[in-house]
Structure 1
């Protein structure tokens, strides 16, 4: 039978390596029909075959983003989107414009995307927002989704003042006199988020579709929603995903990780497992797999909520007084983490662990080791546990990823010395521990599987920005700054394989590899990146994206 689509006269990266002889790929229906030479593939063309001349460009599997917040990113982009608005002045202009826009008669102003690296100490004050919106409440989530910035009207609406205690899983930013500064960290975000207007199903669906278009334009054909469940004012996105899958509007291979709430107790675990089993069944029947469970082991270092083995350096912070005992929290006690990881593995869920501090990494690995020992193996199912972020890893724990088979889910764009790293992170962890950051090459050489994700909208969703940093350990916007721990740089082959075959594997997708019979998820790049200097990798883009045999983006 003639192929529906033929791409020829290029180079082919099959998800594992550059193919030694292939220059073309044929697609029939939703699957790859042939991978081979031009002569072999062009032989299956017919009068209705769509033929694309690659002109030497590289053809790869479609990227799979193994850790994204796609629906949140879409919702935020359609609200007061602060991405690209830098510093206090940029935020004020964006908020003022939004306040005067189509929703000017509404009550709340909501949005996201401000950057901690733009502000002294990382966290601005409510008064900056009061200067442009003094009467309407404002709620703005920062890029990493671990803090919210609100104005005084929002604080008053929530009844937050100097006497308000910190919640168990969060902190209220305070000024020197004890009054709330307008910054809410982690669980304290919910003190205001619970008052926000409900996010409707229509809004979630619009966010998913926006995010899908954005990802497809970057060559991304599959992604894992890193949180499926009620979180920080957002609802469970699964009903919207099920609806879009049923209507045929979901063109990407979306999967989800069910959210394990902070504050879980040992007594809660049986009910949680029962609930997760049922949700997995319902979602799978509707075409939205949710076979992973997301556990946030700790927070982030810039607000001292990343869990460290040794105390933070004694530098100032608005969120908690520096002390010799300050090592940051873990959100579940070790005995609860061990028990829920074992129970989830027994119920055949893959773990998706958020771990940034070295103590969180060790605690998470310990929980996986505990489950490996205490959960009986049987049948053909094998866990594909993944640990996302892995920013600070004690050298003793680097080989444990390979030993335990835990996939490193790398957000490689962060592995560089940007403003936030230099001004906020390194002063808190110190120069010595800074050398333990993002040890991707060491973990890979120790046998750890490697996947990649963007954490969009926390950071840029473009895979080529992350791949640039993975290979160079410098940010393309700061080429003159020395690389961050350059010995941990990856080869382009290893990094590209992680973002395609590696990420598809942890999401249990059959895509990610260009082989006859597998899904026709493809990306045609603007160039052959293997012919570029490493310093030019950030210039690579995508000309054509194919998902399930259908063109979903064309430049």
Structure 2
């Protein structure tokens, strides 16, 4: 009689030795070895001598880390994964330096170079235009109409908060080109005669987004898988998707059912506005009602997304500021019933992430969360996304209200645009830290080919470390890992290299705990013990 053979026995575990392992576990922050079970869980963390002794006795496979730096996989707290995948594979990248004289030709030349150029029927989508390429910073559909008189063309801009449509696209979407009325939270750019230039911002984009054709489910799955590969290259093993909708959840569900989802998703289903969700308000709200149906091993659907204002970027300036009486400028508010929405989903135990870039919107969101706390003191942790405009009086409110300060987009923490904003864009980490706020970091990945956070961290490491790179490295490593896990309620499963947690870890070419972020490369990414990317 032959003995039973099983792939789940101790012998099938893998031992990793001779590493410089930064565990993010405060009780034992450093180790040199660990064992990963066949089911992808850390079963032992300790010294190389200890782990090697166990491995040899049990005849395990042994991997020599060769003194390389190892840490938990990164949690990116703000990503637009489906939009990024579509942009990289199915849209035209015209470059930020496109001008009025060449934008249409770049779109024409690039539309045939997309990986998948017929995804959107006869529409063409491109990114990302900058107003600086147009006379007086005024983009106009006439520059597109010359080359595309009949084909609808939509070019994204303004960090996702604006679009430039040609005449064909405006008509297809049902805009009254000569006399389209303003709506709450909208910005229509108009010619001198009052007609639309084709540049739309915030809720002005709703019609365009709802009229544009959506990709098929099979294509959504295809581009999500591609985007996940790019995320693995950046060391990301867990993320918060900030614009989840029906298509996204169905695609993730099918990938999960196929056993091919190598990423932990925390899906923030859009409550409003429609332009960020890509669906009608009624459909999005109905999706939130049945969000639990899409929950799975790797998909956590207990999250809501609300955009409250725009962005402090020229020439938009659609962020909500405070007036002279300290009240939010209501004309810049995109979702007016934010307080009712937060109370509703707070009662359901769902975390609400509120996009705020101005001091007015941040105050309004914190007021709404405070109202919900009064009625439900033990409610879930909520989030303010971005935090680039926070009044000095508000920092002290984050901790007692149990609000996560999700800092994004990381690329703008130290950037020429930020420096030229006269204080409108101010991610003040030290004030947040002094107030004891729970802080996470997000790339706000939406179109760029690389969501890596390392270069952005290099710009703030000394600030966060109060002048010390090493202190800053330790603080940022925690913000990028365990803080993210805590924000989504997964700190018992991921976020550190500890006994019983999922073996999500990355191997890097330098020591981030010492603040060595600049030029960092991910050498390997492991998800649940499986090597999912290797440089």
TM-score category (smaller protein): 0.7 to 0.9
Tell whether 2:86 aligns with 1:86: no
Tell whether 2:164 aligns with 1:149: yes
Contact 2:408–2:441 (Cα < 8 Å) also in 1: yes
Aligned to 2:65: 54
Aligned to 1:10: 19
- In structure 2, runs of 5+ residues without a counterpart are 1-9, 275-281
Instruction: Show the 5 A alignment for 1:367-516.
Output: 367-375=368-376, 377=378, 383-411=380-408, 413-422=410-419, 426=421, 431=422, 433-434=423-424, 437-457=426-446, 460-471=450-461, 491-509=472-490, 510-516=493-499
Tell whether 2:264 aligns with 1:253: yes
Contact 1:17–1:497 (Cα < 8 Å) also in 2: no
Aligned to 1:25: 34
SS at match of 1:546: strand
Contact 1:308–1:327 (Cα < 8 Å) also in 2: no
Of 160-169 and 290-299, deviating more is: 160-169
Aligned to 1:112: 127
SS at match of 1:544: strand
Instruction: Show the 5 A alignment for 1:211-360.
Output: 211-229=227-245, 236-262=247-273, 275=286, 278-284=289-295, 288-302=299-313, 303-310=316-323, 329-333=332-336, 336-360=337-361
Specify whether residues 143 and 286 from structure 1 end up closer, same or farther in structure 2 by C-alpha distance, changes over 3 A only.
farther
Q: Distance in 2 between matches of 1:346 and 1:309?
A: 29
Tell whether 2:178 aligns with 1:162: yes
The one of the two structures with greater contact order (alpha-carbon pairs below 8 A, sep at least 6) is 1
Q: Distance in 1 between matches of 2:310 and 2:250?
A: 28
Contact 1:309–1:327 (Cα < 8 Å) also in 2: no
Q: Distance in 1 between matches of 2:237 and 2:124?
A: 32
SS at match of 2:410: helix
Deviation digits for residues 417-450 of structure 1 (CA, Å, limit 9, x no counterpart): 5343355xx2xxxx3x44x711122112211111
Specify whether residues 457 and 273 from structure 1 end up closer, same or farther in structure 2 by C-alpha distance, changes over 3 A only.
closer
Q: Distance in 1 between matches of 2:242 and 2:87?
A: 16
The structure 1 residue matched to 2:107, chosen from 91, 95, 108, is 95
Q: Distance in 2 between matches of 1:127 and 1:44?
A: 71
Deviation digits for residues 525-554 of structure 1 (CA, Å, limit 9, x no counterpart): 1222345xx6x6230010111111111111
Aligned to 1:139: 154
Contact 1:169–1:262 (Cα < 8 Å) also in 2: no
Specify whether residues 407 and 100 from structure 1 end up closer, same or farther in structure 2 by C-alpha distance, changes over 3 A only.
closer
The structure 1 residue matched to 2:512, chosen from 529, 540, 548, is 529
Specify whether residues 176 and 272 from structure 1 end up closer, same or farther in structure 2 by C-alpha distance, changes over 3 A only.
closer
SS at match of 1:39: helix
Q: Distance in 1 between matches of 2:107 and 2:486?
A: 41
Question: How big is the shift at 1:190?
Answer: 2.5
Contact 1:273–1:344 (Cα < 8 Å) also in 2: no
Of 459-468 and 78-87, deviating more is: 78-87
Tell whether 2:58 aligns with 1:38: no
Tell whether 2:208 aligns with 1:192: yes
Question: How big is the shift at 1:201?
Answer: 0.9
RMSD: 3.3
Contact 1:140–1:149 (Cα < 8 Å) also in 2: yes
Deviation digits for residues 62-117 of structure 1 (CA, Å, limit 9, x no counterpart): 11112111011101111124275533277545412233457489521113334556
Contact 1:22–1:35 (Cα < 8 Å) also in 2: yes
Specify whether residues 274 and 189 from structure 1 end up closer, same or farther in structure 2 by C-alpha distance, changes over 3 A only.
closer
Question: How big is the shift at 1:23?
Answer: 1.7
Aligned to 1:68: 79
Specify whether residues 455 and 83 from structure 1 end up closer, same or farther in structure 2 by C-alpha distance, changes over 3 A only.
farther
Q: Distance in 2 between matches of 1:183 and 1:332?
A: 21
Q: Distance in 2 between matches of 1:544 and 1:456?
A: 21
Specify whether residues 138 and 412 from structure 1 end up closer, same or farther in structure 2 by C-alpha distance, changes over 3 A only.
closer
Specify whether residues 386 and 373 from structure 1 end up closer, same or farther in structure 2 by C-alpha distance, changes over 3 A only.
same
Q: Distance in 1 between matches of 2:284 and 2:153?
A: 37
Question: How big is the shift at 1:7?
Answer: 2.9
SS at match of 1:537: coil
Tell whether 2:192 aligns with 1:202: no
TM-score, reference length from structure 2: 0.85
Q: How many residues align?
A: 503
Contact 1:13–1:59 (Cα < 8 Å) also in 2: yes
Specify whether residues 216 and 399 from structure 1 end up closer, same or farther in structure 2 by C-alpha distance, changes over 3 A only.
same
TM-score, reference length from structure 1: 0.82
SS at match of 2:517: helix
- In structure 1, runs of 5+ residues without a counterpart are 230-234, 264-270, 312-324, 475-484
Of 110-119 and 62-71, deviating more is: 110-119
Question: How big is the shift at 1:157?
Answer: 3.5
Specify whether residues 408 and 111 from structure 1 end up closer, same or farther in structure 2 by C-alpha distance, changes over 3 A only.
same
Q: Distance in 1 between matches of 2:128 and 2:482?
A: 30
Question: How big is the shift at 1:213?
Answer: 0.8
